[in-house]
Structure 1
C-alpha cells in the first residue's frame, strides 16, 4: 500500500516533536510541504517551529506552559489542559474550545450545586462541607471525583456515580454521615485513601470492578458497615488498614493472588477467614492486631509469610503451615498463643518481639 498525502498527514499527527516532521520531509521528497498542509498545530510550537506551520488557523494549546501565538492568522483556540468552569465560559465567549473542564469549589460558590454537563471532573473540595446537600446528580461527562470532593456532606443520603467515572480521590466521601449505600461502577479503577472513612450510616458498598486496592483506610468506617462486595477480578489487596476494624467476616475472591502489607491489620472483630488457593503470598503485617482471629487455614499455594503477619493475634490457637512455605517473616507470630509454639513447622524466631 502506497501512502498518499492525506495518509501521511494523518500519521504525522501522532509525531512527538518537530524533529519528526523535519526528518519526514527531508527523508521523503514527495512528502515535502506536509507541514504547510496543516490548518492546526499537532504539537506544541515555539517561535522556530511556528514558522514551519504557516497556515494554522486553529491553535491547539496542549499544556499550560505552551507558547501562544496571536499573529492575526489564528481564528480559534482549543485548550486541552484542565481549566476551571469560569475560565471555560470566558474562552467560550471568545469562540474557543476547552476539552478538560473542572468544576471547582469556587465555581460551585458562583454557579451553584448543579454540575454543568460540560464538566469533566469535580475538583478538590468541590462540595466540601455542603451540610444541606441531600442528593446530587453527576452528569455522564464526569470522569473524576477529586480529593475531598464530598468531604463533610453530612446530609448526603444518595449519590449516583455514572459509568464515566474512573477515579475517586482520597477522602472523597469522608464523614458523609447520612450515606447508607453506594455503588461503584465498573469504570472505576482507582479509589483513594480514606474514601469512605467516617461514613457512620454506610451499610453497603458494591464495587463492580477494580483490579488493585492499594490505598489506606478506604473502608475504615463505623460499625454499621455490614456488606462489602469485592469484585471477582480483583488481583491484589495491598494497603494498610484498608478494611474497618469492626468487620467480622470477609470473603476473599479466588482471583486474588496476594494479600499485601497490613490490609487486614487491626481488624479486631475478625474471627475467621478463608484464604483461597489462588493466594501465593501473605504480606507484612497482613493480619497484625486481629485479636479475635482464632483459626486460619493457609493453602499449599502460599510460599511466604511476611514480617509481623500474625503479630498480635492473641486468640490464634490453630493454624496449619503447609510445606510449600519457604519463607517466614520476622516476628510473624509475635504475641500469639503459646499453643502455637508446639507447631514444629514454625521457626522459633517467628515468636520474637
Structure 2
C-alpha cells in the first residue's frame, strides 16, 4: 500500500514535469525565463525554432496600414507562434472616396476665390475646384467701388517693384559692373493694387549703382498681378516657374524669340492672347494650364515639343495659329515631333476633330474617347504624330485602383505619320498587328511596351531612331525586318522579345545577321540574340571591313533576355564583356561555360547579366575576371559558389548584391585573396550556412566587410584553416 502511494506520487510528479515541458517549450523562440527578447535566462534552455512568417492573419495586432479611400488595408505576416514579421499582405478593397458638396468662395479685390467643389468626407480629397482670380480694385474718384479701398499714389519707377538684382549664379550684386540679372518681385498681397497695369520691362537696369542686363523673369516674378499690358525685352532668355501665375487681365503678351519657358510659367493666367516668337522650342508641362481666358496662341515652327497639360483646361482657346500656315485656324508647329499626354485635355472642344473615336488637334492624334471598347483604328490620313500614351491606360491616373486594359487589336498608320509618342501603345495586350507605317521616322521610349500579342514588326527605310525599350516585353514578337540601311538601336529596344527571325538590309552601314543574331559589327556586339543559345564569335558575312570589327567581343544589353529555349550556353573566347541584363530571366538556363582566359582583355560581367536565372547552378569564372556588376547573379539558382578564381586580379571590382536573393545558396568558397565583401553581397540568401575560407581567422578578419553583406542569411559558420567562426562572432 505504501509503495503504491509512492508510485502514484512519482507518476503524478512525472506528469507534472511533462506538462510543464509542454507549456514551456511549445512557444516559438520562447525563453526559459519568460523573456520576450532575444536573451536567455542564465542556465536556461532556448528551444531551436526558425520563425516562418507565412501566415496571413487579419487582426488588429498585425495591422500595418488601415484601409483608406484609395488603398486596401495592409497587415504584417506572422509566424504560427504569433510573432509578427516584417513583410505585409493586402486585405480587402479600398473604401473609395465619399464626396460631399462644398460651397465655393467668392473672390475679393485682392484675394482669389474658387467654385463649388466636392470633398471626400474621409480623406479630404478635392475635385472640381476651379480657381477664380481676384477681382482687383475698381476705382472711381480714387475709391474702390467694391471694398472702399482708397487708391494711393503709384509710380512706374522700377525701384517701386523692389526688384532684387542677382547674377546668373544667384549671387546678389555688390559692385558697379555689368551683370546678367533676373527680375524677382518681392511684393506682398496687400500691395497688389499698387502694381502698374502697364509694364515695360527694360533690357538694362541701373539700381543702387549696379548696372545689369535683364535676362530672365524669376519664379513667381509677376504672380497674380493685374497686368493689362506688358512688354518683355529681347534680352530676356528665360521665364521662370509661376512667373505669371494667375496674372494678366485680357491682355496680349508677346514672348521674345528663343526664350526658355518653364513648368507653369503662365499657369492660370488671364491673358487673352499669347504670341510665341520664333526660336522657342518647348512648351513645358502645364505651361498654360487652366488659362481659362486664353483664346489665341501664335505658335512658331521652332516648337518641337508640347508638354503634359500644356494647354489643358483652356476652355476658351479657339485659335492656334502658325505664321507659316495662316490659312487654318488650328495649326501647330510644322516641326513638332512630340506631344505629351493630356496636352490639350479638358480644353475647348472646338480644338478637336474626331474620327472613329480618335481625337485630333491639327495633324496630331491627341486623345481617344474610349480606349476600352475601340478594337480597330485607322489613323486619319495627314496625321503627323501620335501623342504620348495615346492608347495606354495608366491605372494610376484613377482615384480608385483599377485594372483596365486597352481593347485595340489592329491599327493602320498612313504614310503621313512620322512620330509615335512615349508609351503610345504600351500595355495594349490585344494588339495583334500594326499595318502601314511606311513614313515613320521616330519611335519614342516604350512605344509598344508589353504588347504581348504582337508577333512581327517591319521597320521601313525612313525610320531613323528607336527609343529605349520601344518593344520591351513583347513576348510573342518573333519576327523583325529592318529595311533601311542606317537605323541604329541598342538591345534594350527589344528586351524580352523572343525574336527568332531577323532580316536586315544587306547594305546596312553597321548591322548584319549571324546565326540568327543581330550583330553590330562596328563595335563587335550582339544586339539581339537568338533562341538556340549558340553564340557566334565572328561576323562571317563581314570578311573585310575598314571601320568594323570581325570578331564579336560583347554580348549587348538584354540581348538574350527572357529566352526560355536553352538550358546551357558556351561563351566564345572572343567575347570578354557580358553587358547589362544580357541573359536576364532566362528561366531554363542551368549551365554557363565562360572562357578560362581572354588574353589581355579584362573580363566583365555587368549589372544584372544573369538576373533571375532561377535554375542557374553551374558557372566557371575566368582567371582574368575584372568586374562583376550590381545584382549580376541575383535571384539565381546556385546551391554553392566557388569564388576562388575571381580575385586574382589586384584591382578586381565586385559591386553590391551580386548574389542577393539566391534562395537555394547553401555554401560559398572564398579565397584568401578576397579583399572585401560588398554591401548586401548575400542579401536574403536564407539557406547560406557554410562559408569556406582558404585562410586563417586573422586573414578573414582583415577582409573589409561592407554594410549588411550577410543581411538575412542563415546562421552560417566560416570554416578557416585554423578554426571556425559563427555568424555572431563575425559580426561581433
Query: Shorter-chain TM-score category?
Result: 0.5 to 0.7
Decide whether the 8 Å contact of 1:303 with 1:327 is kept in 2.
yes
- Separation in structure 1 between the aligned mates of residue 181 and residue 565 of structure 2, nearest angstrom: 54
- Aligned equivalent of 2:454: 176
Matching of residue 139 in structure 1 with residue 416 in structure 2? yes
Within 5 Å, which residues of 2 pair with 1:219-298? 219-220=497-498, 227-229=516-518, 231=520, 246-250=531-535, 264=561, 267-269=564-566, 271-274=569-572, 276-277=574-575, 279=577, 289=587, 291=589, 293=591, 295-297=593-595
Q: Distance in 2 between matches of 1:350 and 1:161?
A: 58
Kept in 2, the 8 Å contact 1:171–1:193? The answer is: yes
Among 162, 168, 174, the alignment partner of 2:440 is: 162
User: 1:105 pairs with 364, 368, 384, which one?
Assistant: 368
Q: How does 1:32-181 map to 2 (within 5 A)?
A: 35-36=231-232, 43=239, 45-46=243-244, 50=248, 56=254, 58-60=274-276, 62-64=284-286, 66=288, 68=291, 70=293, 76-78=297-299, 80-81=306-307, 91-92=318-319, 95=329, 97-99=331-333, 100=339, 101-106=364-369, 113-122=378-387, 123-125=389-391, 128-131=406-409, 133=411, 135-137=412-414, 139-144=416-421, 146-148=424-426, 151-156=429-434, 159-160=437-438, 162-171=440-449, 173-177=451-455, 179=456, 181=458
Cα distance change of structure 1 residues 37 and 331 upon mapping to structure 2, 3 Å threshold: closer
**2:413 is paired with a residue of what secondary structure?**
strand
Q: Tell me: CA distance 1:186–1:156, structure 2 relative to 1, closer, same or farther (3 Å).
A: closer
User: Aligned partners of 1:334 and 1:117: how far apart in 2?
Assistant: 54
Measured after TM superposition, the shift of residue 137 of structure 1 is 2.8
| More deviation, 184-193/74-83 | 74-83
Q: Name whichever structure is richer in strand by fraction.
A: 2
Q: Please list the CA deviations of residues 52-109 of structure 1 after superposition, one character each: whole Å capped at 9, or x if unmatched.
A: x9764534575435363849xx85454943579xx99x84589454453444333996
- Tell me by how many angstroms 1:302 deviates: 1.3
* Aligned equivalents of 1:171, 1:307: Cα separation in 2: 20
Determine which of 287, 307, 312 is the counterpart of 2:615: 312
Separation in 2, partners of 1:136, 1:82: 24
Partners of 2:556 and 2:580 within 8 A in 1? yes
Give the aligned CA root-mean-square deviation in angstroms. Answer: 5.9
Q: In structure 2, what is the Cα distance between the partners aligned to 1:112 and 1:65? A: 31
In structure 2, list runs of 5 or more residues that go unmatched: 1-179, 186-199, 216-229, 255-272, 277-282, 322-328, 334-338, 340-363, 393-404, 503-514, 538-548, 648-666, 671-686, 689-732
Contact 2:498/2:562 (8 A) holds in 1: no
**2:443 aligns to what SS in structure 1?**
coil
Change (3 A) 1:333 1:211: closer
Native 8 Å contact 1:308 1:333 kept in 2: no
Q: Is the 8 A contact 1:167 1:189 kept in 2?
A: yes
Q: 1:196 to 1:274 in 2, by over 3 A?
A: farther
CA contact (8 A) 1:158 1:182 kept: no
Segments of structure 1 that go 5 or more residues without pairing to the other structure are 1-14
User: Cα–Cα, structure 1 residues 228 and 117, in superposed 2: closer, same or farther, change >3 Å?
Assistant: farther
- Going from structure 1 to structure 2, the CA distance change for 1:54 and 1:141 (only over 3 Å counts) comes to same
Q: Which has the larger radius of gyration?
A: 2
Shift in CA distance, 248/324, structure 1 to aligned 2, threshold 3 Å = closer
In 2, Cα distance between equivalents of 1:346 and 1:63: 49
CA contact (8 A) 1:151 1:171 kept: no
Decide whether aligned partners of structure 1 residues 227 and 82 sit closer, same or farther in structure 2, where only a CA change above 3 A counts: farther
1:261, CA displacement in angstroms? 8.6
State how far apart, in whole Å, the 2-side matches of 1:130 and 1:59 are.
39
Q: In structure 1, what is the equivalent of residue 343 of structure 2?
A: none
Quick one: distance in 2 between partners of 1:344 and 1:30?
66
SS at match of 2:307: strand
Give the drift of 1:349: 1.6
Aligned to 1:213, what secondary structure does the other structure show? Answer: helix
Distance in 2 (CA, whole Å) between partners of 1:236 and 1:16 is 50
TM-score by length of 2: 0.32
Residues 1:209 and 2:209 are matched in the alignment: no
* Corresponding position: 1:345 with 2:645: yes
The separation in 1 between residues aligned to 2:438 and 2:615, in whole angstroms, is: 40
1:175 CA displacement: 0.4
Give me the TM-score of the superposition, normalised by structure 1: 0.57
* In structure 2, distance between residues paired with 1:248 and 1:19: 63
Map of 1:196 onto structure 2 = 474
SS state of the match for residue 274, structure 1? Answer: coil
Q: Does the aligned pair in 1 maintain the 2:366–2:386 contact within 8 Å?
A: yes
- Structure 2 Cα separation of the partners of residues 350 and 147 of structure 1: 48
Does structure 2 retain, via aligned residues, the 8 Å contact 1:167–1:188? yes
- Post-superposition offset of 1:301: 1.4
